[in-house]
Structure 1
Amino acid sequence: MSKFLLLQLRPEPEVSDSEYRAILDKSGLDGAQVHRICLDREDLPDGLDPRDYAGVIVGGGPGCVSDAPEKKTAVEARIEAACLSLMPAVTSADVPFMGCCYGIGILGHHLGAVVSKDQFGEAVGPTTCIKTQDGAKDSMLAGMPAQFDAFVGHKEALQNLPNGAVHLLSSGPCPFQMIRYGQNVYATQFHPEADGAEFETRIKFYRHKGYFAPEDADQLIDMCHSADVTWPQQILSNFVQQYR
């Protein structure tokens, strides 16, 4: 079996490692089945071809595709360039792809959609995702209810559906929660790997990153632990089961 390529973007080792464990746990993969690259401190290997993998998973991160180039740190710019360098091969060859949070911005930007902070940002916490008619028929959402809660926390979002993309999930605050391009290229605005414990870790590390008022951190942690967020992990499980 080919390995899955996992690209991680978080510059905080504790958060990156926690996300890594969450993705493995929710997807059913083990470390031997994953080629993990932490783009904050590693370059893509020369000649890396996404078509050589069973699928590609992109995690989340504090960077924003829509930030002006002069406002991006050198690490953020390098991460973005690395992710975007793979997208032509991913979309042209319809390589199985699951972009989580940051991944929807990368995919949308590559496909020419507007990614910005103008509308549809969401505060940290759970949001209710609702299947569209196409979502109800998509294998990646098989076995899941018509609506379910998922964890979000993002400043930027797709402002329009990319040309050629299929709209799978929406929410009240953010219309584009999940999309598909071709038959195998997926991206979510929410974090399918996250549960209450995982979001507690991120809230503690990102309390001064502008997602929320720092003094609200403890209240947000309590809210995330009390939320009923269990269905999104099925998406990662479905992805691995379909493409492994």
Structure 2
Amino acid sequence: MTMKPFLLLATRAEDAAAAAEHSAFLRYGNLTEGELVRHRLERDPLPALDLDEYSGVIVGGSPFNASDADELKSPVQHRVETELSALLDEIIERDFPFLGACYGVATLGVHRGGVVDTTYGEVVGATSITLTAEGRADPILDGVPDHFQAFVGHKEACTVLPADATLLATSATCPVQMFRVGANVYATQFHPELDSDGLLTRIAVYDRHGYYPSGAMEEIAEAARHADVSLAPRVLSNFTRRHRRA
């Protein structure tokens, strides 16, 4: 029986970063090429979608910052935000399977009335994530220990959780690391798809983009090579395993 694919919505304009992200979601989602359909929103507007044709929707990371002033956002970012907001209307109404990684916190957080700003931005690298009681009981976090390492790197984060959201994971430097809306709609601030090789690609592409101090790339790369983030991808594999459907 043929599985309905997952839909990956990407916004990275740099081909190297976009390709590495796609490969990472395939690998850690335990998906074949045909089981993950990618649409690059930064290139093409989102076409009309029939969600019944998909097992779920995944949103990758992004150079966009939802908290930037409107006049600082490009026309492409404005379009992407409008398209994602309209899609989230349907996803929330249907409680359709959704996983937003990093940029997902911003898009879902803003959509549900939370506060996203630069208070809890984190420099690129591994950080220690702690599950809440609700996180320990959540099926998407099955097999994930109470404390684990994951890669982060973001200029903005959710400061005030949406009223209808359940906090699943937190950290000392960023209180909202993962939350859920309804039963099937998730967002993570950390990257469940990133391993050391993936992060090395990212920092090479986004060097001097403000994700870490100027001149710190080699130091961050060396730390990434020795980081153990092997447990974080279980979030992604649990999501795809739970929601794959024919």
Q: Which TM class, normalised by the smaller chain length?
A: over 0.9
TM superposition score normalised by structure 1? 0.97
Alignment match, 1:18: 20
Alignment match, 1:49: 50
Alignment match, 2:234: 234
Residue 84 (structure 2) pairs with residue 83 (structure 1): yes
Q: Give 1:71's aligned amino acid.
A: L
Q: 2:196, 2:220 → 1: CA distance?
A: 10
Q: Give 1:224's aligned amino acid.
A: A
Residue 123 (structure 2) pairs with residue 123 (structure 1): yes
Alignment match, 1:4: 6
Q: 1:176, 1:49 → 2: CA distance?
A: 31
Alignment match, 2:112: 111
| Stretches of structure 2 lacking an aligned partner (at least 5 in a row) | none
Alignment match, 2:190: 190
Q: 2:224, 2:76 → 1: CA distance?
A: 29
1:134-154 CA distance string (max 9 Å, x none) = 001000000111110000011
Q: Give 1:42's aligned amino acid.
A: D
Q: 1:60, 1:188 → 2: CA distance?
A: 10
Q: 2:237, 2:231 → 1: CA distance?
A: 10
Q: 1:147, 1:226 → 2: CA distance?
A: 18
Q: 1:205, 1:82 → 2: CA distance?
A: 26
1:67-101 CA distance string (max 9 Å, x none) = 01111122222222222220100111000000000
Q: How many residues align?
A: 242
Q: 2:80, 2:101 → 1: CA distance?
A: 15
Q: What is the DSSP-based 3-state SS (H/G/I as helix, E as strand, rest coil) of the residue aligned with 2:207? A: coil
Q: Give 1:38's aligned amino acid.
A: R
Q: Give 1:54's aligned amino acid.
A: S
Residue 166 (structure 2) pairs with residue 169 (structure 1): no
Q: What is the DSSP-based 3-state SS (H/G/I as helix, E as strand, rest coil) of the residue aligned with 1:197? A: helix
TM superposition score normalised by structure 2? 0.96
Q: 2:224, 2:79 → 1: CA distance?
A: 32
Report the Cα offset of residue 51 of structure 1.
4.2
Contact 1:51 1:90 in 2 (8 A): no
Report the Cα offset of residue 161 of structure 1.
1.3
1:41-60 CA distance string (max 9 Å, x none) = 11111x21334321000000
Give the % identical residues. 43
Contact 1:51 1:89 in 2 (8 A): no
Q: What is the DSSP-based 3-state SS (H/G/I as helix, E as strand, rest coil) of the residue aligned with 2:114? A: coil
Matches within 5 A, 1:208-227: 208-227=208-227
Q: 1:49, 1:88 → 2: CA distance?
A: 14
| Stretches of structure 1 lacking an aligned partner (at least 5 in a row) | none
Q: Give 1:179's aligned amino acid.
A: F
Q: Give 2:89's aligned amino acid.
A: P
Which is further off, 190-199 or 51-60?
51-60
Q: 1:74, 1:202 → 2: CA distance?
A: 24
Q: What is the DSSP-based 3-state SS (H/G/I as helix, E as strand, rest coil) of the residue aligned with 1:153? A: strand
Instruction: Name the Cα RMSD after superposition.
Output: 1.0
Q: CA distance change for structure 1 residues 49 and 109 in 2, over 3 Å: closer, same or farther?
A: farther
Report the Cα offset of residue 34 of structure 1.
1.6
1:102-150 CA distance string (max 9 Å, x none) = 0111001000111111x11111101100010000100000011111000
Which is further off, 131-140 or 69-78?
69-78
Q: 1:52, 1:92 → 2: CA distance?
A: 17
